[in-house]
Amino acid sequence: MLARLDRRDARSSILRRRVLRLIHSGARRSYDGISMDGPETARNTGMKIPLFQVDAFTEKIFSGNQAAVCPLTHWLEDKQMLAIAAENNVSETAFFVPENGAYCLRWFSPKSEVQLCGHATLATAFVIFNFLRPGTTSVRFHTCSGPLDVKKEGDFLAMDFPSLPARPCESVPKALLDGLNPSPRVVLESGATAAERNYFVVYDNEKDVRDAIPDLPILETLHPAGVCITAPGERVDFVSRYFAPSYGIPEDPVTGSTHCSLGPYWSDVLKKSVLRAQQLSSRGGELLVEPRGSRITLKGKATLYLVAEISI
C-alpha cells in the first residue's frame, strides 16, 4: 500500500485521517491511544510497520535530505532494523518507540547504526506533529547522544542538540590529504573518541566547496570518521558538504549533526549568533544555526514524500 503525497496534502485533515488508518491497519496495535509505559522487544514475525519518507531541511519535495521514519510499538532486533535501513537505502532510517510520555529514538544508515542524526530527528518530529500526535508542539527523544528536544516555531522545527566544537587537527591523516581536491587549507576534528570523529576542512570560498571532487574510496579508509568541507557562503553565512562513504553515504544531502560543529566555528569566525547555512549537495538544503554554549539550536523545515507499509 503506497500513498504518494505532496506538501499541501500533508497539511490537510483528510490526509491525516488516511495516514492514521494506514497505521491502524498496518501496525500490530494502534498508535492512537498507545500505552506510553515503555518499549518492549518484538516477539514474533509477520509484522507490518508504517513507513514515512520525509524530505528534511527543505520545504520543497525532491530536495533536502531524505529520511525514512518507522514508528514502532516494540523494538525490533538490531539486525532487522539494519536490514530495513539497507532496503530503504536513504542516508538514515529512524526507528522510535514511546517511553514515559516521550520517545526512544535510534538511527540507522544503510550500513550501521549512527550516534547522532539531525535530519532524521527533524523528520521524526515532523511525523509526530503532523500525523501521530496532531496539535503537539514539542517532543523529547531519548537517544544515545542524550535527550533531544524538538519544538514547533512557526513554519520551522527547532531542535535542541549538543554543541560539538571542532578543534585543530594535530595529526592530519594522509588519506584525508590524498582524498580531497583541492587540498585542505585548515583541518579541524571533532569527537571525544575515534568512533565519534569527524574531520572538517575549511576552504577559502564557496566555489572550492562546490567544485571539490573527493576520492571516495580513499576517504572510506578514514572510517569511522566522516569528512565535512566548508567555506564562507556567497548568499548565506557558510556552506558545506559532507562525505561518509564507509556508512553507505557517498555524499549526504543535508547533515544536521555536522552543524553542531560548524555552528560554533563559523559563529566565532563571523562574530554572529544566528547563522544561515546551506549544504551544497545535488539535492541541497538550508537551515538556521544558533550556538548557545554547550547546546545548539538547529532550525529547518520538512515536507512529506510518501507513506507506505513494510511487511516483515
Rounded CA separation 141/256 (Å) = 16
- C-alpha to C-alpha distances, 12 to 66, 131, 241, nearest whole angstrom: 22, 10, 34
Question: Within 13 Å, how many C-alpha atoms sit on residue 279's CB side?
Answer: 32
- Asked if 151 and 157 touch (Cβ cutoff 8 Å), the reply is yes
* Residue spans of alpha helices (H) in the chain: 7-10, 13-26, 78-88, 118-127, 174-179, 206-211, 216-220, 259-270
Catalytic residue among 40, 59, 87, 92: 92
Positive or negative, the Cα torsion across 176, 182, 186, 189?
Answer: negative
Q: Is 286 a catalytic residue?
A: no
CA gap 168, 131 in Å, rounded: 44
Residue 268, C-alpha cell as written in the block? 566565532
Q: Which of 114, 121, 103 is nearest to 158 (CA)?
A: 121
User: What is the spatial distance between Cα 252 and Cα 64, in angstroms, rounded to a whole number?
Assistant: 10
Please give the positions annotated as active site. 92
